[in-house]
Structure 1
Amino acid sequence: MRAPLTLGLLATPAAVAGVRRALADYGTDVQLCASELVTNVVVHLGEGVPVTVRVFRDGGRTRLEVTDPDPCALPVRRPAVGADEESGRGLALLDALALDWGVTQGPGEKTVWCELVAEPPEGRVLPGRGAMSVASV
């Protein structure tokens, strides 16, 4: 198991970009999910809210957790948004990319988490995700 990564930050648009950069080694799916979850904190709780981002990789899975101090502001799935809408796709992306996701509430905080297929090190391809097979004749 790879050592967990923990990032403490204040939720701002600039911090979202910093989270993406910090998670580059975990792959684009983890970066995208983290970006969406931290952006949700900015949009729904406001800028400057303290957030903790944790990433654990174990075997073939990566677990991403984003914790904020509001246990009551829970994510809500919205009906499909139109093609012209500029927001509202975050949880739909989580649904599409994650193997599983959910919310854990604690005293004075909540954690939105998701588990994704761990992307391989640079240069390797996971079967079924861009891998090409050649049949012998």
Structure 2
Amino acid sequence: MGITRTRQTYEFPTGIAPPLGEVRAWLRERLSEVGRTTIADTELLTTELVTNAHEHADGVAELRVSVPSGRDVVRVEVDDRRPRLRPHRVIKTDPTSPHGRGLALVEAISTEWGVDTGAGFKTVWAEIPVS
């Protein structure tokens, strides 16, 4: 399929854990013309954002991915329906804990990330450099 200059949308079934393997395969199909490092970084970053929405915001409403025209980034957007719950970087106090690294990974992998809110939804987005 190649690099998509238009937004591609993955819609999640409600009430179940997100199918992360399917999400990663979906991303690989849509980003087949970017480098393997970009695809791997996008898969990791997207998995973290989707998992955070599932665990902390009652699930994912929608996932979008695109390579905006004229820019050398992959943009990932994850929607949920908890606009008041805004993500923040967690400072790890217990290095043996399996939790608390997600947004640190997002911050490390992305060139930029942020949160947009609207009536009844929140979008956490991040941009990954294309290599």
- TM superposition score normalised by structure 2: 0.79
Tell whether 2:108 aligns with 1:118.
Answer: no
* Partners of 1:83 and 1:102 in 2: CA distance: 26
* Cα RMSD, aligned residues only: 1.8
* Partners of 2:111 and 2:118 in 1: CA distance: 23
1:52-71 mapped onto 2 (5 Å cutoff)? 52-58=62-68, 59-71=71-83
1:7 counterpart letter in structure 2 = Y
Partner of 1:128: none
In the superposition, relative to structure 1, how do residues 88 and 113 fare at CA in structure 2: closer, same or farther (>3 Å)?
same
Matched-pair identity in %: 33
1:57 counterpart letter in structure 2 = V
Partner of 1:17: 21
Partner of 1:37: 49
Partner of 2:11: 8
* Partners of 1:110 and 1:14 in 2: CA distance: 17
The secondary structure found in structure 2 opposite 1:2 is: coil
Aligned partners of 1:81 and 1:89 also within 8 Å: no
Indicate the structure with greater strand content: 1
The secondary structure found in structure 2 opposite 1:83 is: coil
Partner of 2:34: none
Runs (5+) with no aligned partner, structure 2: 32-38
1:53-92 mapped onto 2 (5 Å cutoff)? 53-58=63-68, 59-92=71-104
The secondary structure found in structure 1 opposite 2:50 is: helix
How far 1:78 sits from its partner (Å)? 0.9
In the superposition, relative to structure 1, how do residues 105 and 80 fare at CA in structure 2: closer, same or farther (>3 Å)?
same
Partner of 1:28: 40
More RCO (CA 8 Å, sep 6+)? 2
1:55 counterpart letter in structure 2 = V
User: Larger Cα Rg: Structure 1 or Structure 2?
Assistant: 1
Aligned partners of 1:17 and 1:35 also within 8 Å: no
Runs (5+) with no aligned partner, structure 1: 120-137
Q: How many residues of Structure 1 are paired with residues of Structure 2 in the alignment? A: 117
- TM superposition score normalised by structure 1: 0.76
